[in-house]
Amino acid sequence: MSVPMENPISFTNVGRSKWWHRGIFASQTGYVLLALVVLMIAMRFASPYFFTEGNMQNVAKNFSFIAIATLGITFVIITGGIDLSVGSMMCFSAMITSMVMVELSASGSSFVHLAADGKTVVANVPGLIFLISVLAGLLAAFIVGIINGFCIAVLGLSPFVTTLGMLSIVRGLAYVVSNGRGSFPGGPDADLFYGLTSGDVYGVPAPFIYLVILALVMAVVLHHTSFGRHVFALGGNEKAAELTGIPVVRVKIQVYVLCALAAGLQGIIISGWLGSAPANMATSYELNVIAAAVIGGANLAGGLGGPLGAIVGCVLLEVIRNGLVLAQVNSYWQQTLVGVIIILAVLVDRIRSRMT
């Protein structure tokens, strides 16, 4: 099929950019990572407590509390969409999980039969209540994600408006199902639940372990599967994606479902750490999550982003918060500083892309 070439392609006219102009070195993720390293070194000298084991564990735990949801929303942001319902989704999933857990354990419950020993039937299988209740929480997230995706991909509503509506709907449902009181994990599997959500393995916080695993999986999915490729194509040029036969509607629904599931899982983990799922839990977390993704280099116009950026953004936010605490700065400054950093990160990227 290939034609014998009189002259092989020489690339005489086409230069190759230098290594520091390519890949991660040329990305916002790259220099935000650099800024993070510099900041951590500065913290090392500013406070003797920063690099202590206890503080590091704290930092790892705290940023893991928004990082899983940030991974999820990064999918959506790469396609050029946005999901404002993550905060509400965290709360709703956590609430469903703990309510199901309590319901399945209660002997007076109308949903389950009692076994001979007076416990509920499911309570006799170790871990079953835990499994069912977590799956129930994730199922709630899945349904909300499907609805988001359907409205956006099939009905063609704007992602901003759809998920803004969903933010309110899901939060409202959380108040409705709990009568505004929130719910508490309970029953025989509660200890297992707390252990798996806020425990640690050899000093490494469990949420951090989940985060690392999910981030690795996400990196493979984004860069080494056709689904990931289609996610990027959608953000780069949606019309081109459609013309080349990419199932645009399906991919869009999938990213909103992934985002909702990540938020749901995140919410369940947070409720384990809090010991409850109050109805006002994770209020306005969507803004932290979006901020972390954007600081880490996800482009709200679509086409750019990844798990490393999502994590770097979350770590940076947490190190700053932690640093301000250690430096005994009034903690109210944190929000102001986060805002400044969002704008700075995007501004530096703009200046850099103008220079090259």
Partner 1 sequence: MTTSSTSGQPVLELTGIGKEFGAIRALHDVDMHVHPGEVVGLMGDNGAGKSTLVKIIAGNFRPTHGEIRFDGHAVHFNRPIDARAVGIEVVYQDLALADNLTAAANVFLGRELKRKFGPIALLDHKAMAARALDLFGELRSETRPYDLVKQMSGGQRQAVAIARTRLSNAKLVMMDEPTAAISVRQVEQVLSLIHRLKEQGVAVMLISHRMPDVFAVCDRVIVMRRGEKRADKPIHDTSPEEVTALITGAKEAA
Determine, following the binding rule CB under 8 A, whether residue 338 of this chain makes contact with partner 1.
no
How many residues sit close enough to partner 1 to count as binding (CB under 8 A)? 34
Determine, following the binding rule CB under 8 A, whether residue 18 of this chain makes contact with partner 1.
no
Determine, following the binding rule CB under 8 A, whether residue 224 of this chain makes contact with partner 1.
yes
Single residue of 186, 229, 283, 346 touching partner 1 by CB under 8 A: 229
Smallest distance, Å, CB 354 to partner 1?
Answer: 14
Determine, following the binding rule CB under 8 A, whether residue 240 of this chain makes contact with partner 1.
yes
Determine, following the binding rule CB under 8 A, whether residue 9 of this chain makes contact with partner 1.
yes
Single residue of 18, 116, 245, 336 touching partner 1 by CB under 8 A: 245
Single residue of 155, 239, 351, 355 touching partner 1 by CB under 8 A: 239
Smallest distance, Å, CB 219 to partner 1?
Answer: 12
Determine, following the binding rule CB under 8 A, whether residue 237 of this chain makes contact with partner 1.
yes
- Which among 33-41, 57-65, 204-212, 237-245 is the span making contact with partner 1, rule CB under 8 A? 237-245
Task: List the interface residues with partner 1, window 273-332 (CB under 8 A).
Answer: 303-304
Distances (CA, A) of 144 to 31, 82, 85, 137, 354: 36, 15, 9, 11, 40
- Taking the least distance from each CB to partner 1, the nearer of 177 and 221 is 221
- Which among 118-126, 188-196, 223-231, 283-291 is the span making contact with partner 1, rule CB under 8 A? 223-231
What are phi and psi for residue 120, nearest 5 degrees? -75, 160
- Report which of 342, 303, 320, 346 is spatially closest to residue 50, judged by C-alpha positions: 320
Other C-beta atoms closer than 10 Å to the C-beta of 343 total: 11
Residues in contact with partner 1 by the rule CB under 8 A: 1-3, 5, 8-14, 16-17, 220, 223-226, 229-230, 232-233, 235-237, 239-241, 243-246, 303-304
